[in-house]
Amino acid sequence: LQTIDRTNVWHPFTQMAEWVQQDQLIIESGKDNWLIDTEGNRYLDGISSLWTNVHGHCVPEIDNAVQEQLGKIAHTTMLGLANVPATELAKRLVDILPQGLTRVFYSDSGSTAVEVALKIAFQFQQQAEKGDPNRIKFISMQNSYHGDTIGSVAVGGMDLFHATYKHMLFQGEKVLSPYCYRCPFGKEKATCDHECFQHVEDVLSEHGSTAAAFVIEPLVQGAAGQIMHPEGYLAHVRELCTRHNVLLIADEVAVGFGKTGTMFACEQENITPDIICLAKGISAGYLPLAATVASEEIYNGFLGKHEEFKTFFHGHTYTGNPLACAAAIANLDYFENNNVMEKLQPKIAHLQNRLNAMQELEHVGEIRIRGIMTGIELVKDKGSKASFEAAAKIGHRVCMEARKYGVIIRNLGDVIILMPPLSISLSEIDLLCDATAKAISTVTE
Ligand code: PMP
């Protein structure tokens, strides 16, 4: 076997500690829902790469679409020119997004999709006829994750990732996260009076008149450990934003493209945000692509009172890349031609059943599931909900143990994340759940 020297790669979000560094696999290829490493070992991809490969790996229809586009052109600037796939994709996205989102601005990662949304909202308030230049703050959620660029970090609400940079960030207001298992208001889900609904109302009453926008991950705060918001929360936030004239930015980077059981999470509460951010599943994991889609009213704001402001001051070199857009169109075709969302429903039911059984394990505190997005929160003691002292290490060890059973999963601290491709089969769900349960038992007993 050829030895691969990894010395020069600085891995993102990887602790430098030895206990993490030792364990990285080098993946050489993939097929369907499986990954194959350089030694020929096969692993079920239980996290769809990084929540991207919604149809698995090496999907012939998407491979062909990218190949075909390669034969035409690989890149052309969108600054002053257009290209065929970017133009077609914008139409296709507008057709399936919540009604009213009509103008597609391309970028190349989830972080930049959010960064762009923040800048659009800010510039709209500063310059549009319907804007208000006093609105300079952003309201966002504690426990939120919106990316790693400075703007997206500023609206993020996870100290673990963001505290280091606090002096670089603009200030905003944070709403306490409606994390029912560990309710910030000290309540139990079954008996609470939805104090979280009143709380967000209070934050908007106090800061609504100076806020440019409210940024939220709809339904599920993914990176913080799949924290699922109570029913009606998103619709409540939409209603409050409308009441206070605050723009609503829905960050669907993680939840979009089927993962919550509907194509977009906003559909489940029947809301249309003013701006939506898309990435990850948009190109089915093929090429870096993101889109920030705004309403007509916001776009019209940029037609401007003043000649010099008739522009949005943002332009990435690789924006609207034709290869990435071709992959994204093939991705949408795949959804349609294979009835992916219809076929997903029995899989969600099966996953839910299998996870219910896992709740019996001694150190499983809460299992959260929405669509196929799953978080299994481990605790040292179920009664008190006390966490393990070395929580992240325990979570990581569970993932390493699962690899022994041929399954790749991920941990966010002591929450074990399952986010398989939508193309996972029922028997693969069994393997995923069996391996996860065995790994949890082995590590925590
Ligand atoms: N927003 C959300 C909700 C995310 O989950 C992520 C990535 N995990 C991002 C933004 C950032 O996306 P990217 O890593 O592509 O920059």
User: What domains are there in the chain, each with its CATH number?
Assistant: 64-337 (3.40.640.10), 339-444 (3.90.1150.10)
Q: What whole-number distance in Å separates Cα of residue 150 and Cα of residue 128? A: 25
| Closest approach atom of ligand 1 to CA 114 | 10
Instruction: For ligand 1, say whether the CB of 219 is within 6 Å of any of its atoms.
Output: no
316 is in an annotated binding site: yes
**Ramachandran angles phi, psi of 353, nearest 5°:** -60, -45
- The stretch 118-147 carries a mean pLDDT of 96
**Residue 15, pLDDT score:** 67
Instruction: For ligand 1, say whether the CB of 108 is within 6 Å of any of its atoms.
Output: no
**Residue 2, pLDDT score:** 57
Residue 272 exposed, middle or buried by CB count within 10 Å (0-12, 13-18, 19+)? middle
Ligand 1 mean position to 255 CA, how many Å? 10
Tokens for 351? 């996953």
Q: What whole-number distance in Å separates Cα of residue 110 and Cα of residue 124? A: 21
**Residue 308, pLDDT score:** 62
Listed residue (147, 122, 142) closest to 246, CA to CA? 122
**Residue 29, pLDDT score:** 97
- The stretch 315-338 carries a mean pLDDT of 97
Share above pLDDT 70 across residues of the chain, in percent, rounded to a whole number = 96
Chain segment 357-400, per-residue pLDDT in tens: 999 999 999 999 999 999 999 999 999 999 999 999 999 999 99
User: Which of 152, 217, 253, 266 most suits a substitution to test ligand 1, by most atoms within 8 Å of the C-beta?
Assistant: 253
Residues 6+ apart with CB under 8 A from 365: 181, 377, 378, 379, 382, 385
111 is in an annotated binding site: yes
Ligand 1 mean position to 307 CA, how many Å? 35
- The stretch 336-344 carries a mean pLDDT of 98
- The stretch 222-239 carries a mean pLDDT of 97
**Residue 64, pLDDT score:** 98
Using a cut of 0.80, tell me whether the model's pTM lies above it.
Answer: yes
Place of tokens 């790669």: 9
Q: How confident is the model at residue 310 (pLDDT cuts 50, 70, 90)?
A: confident
Residue 322 and residue 69 in contact, taking contact as beta carbons nearer than 8 Å: yes
Ligand 1 mean position to 112 CA, how many Å? 9
Ligand 1 mean position to 3 CA, how many Å? 33
Residue 352 and residue 369 in contact, taking contact as beta carbons nearer than 8 Å: yes
Q: What is the ipTM of this complex?
A: 0.99
317 is in an annotated binding site: yes
State the chain's mean pLDDT as an integer: 95
145 is in an annotated binding site: yes
Instruction: For ligand 1, say whether the CB of 83 is within 6 Å of any of its atoms.
Output: no
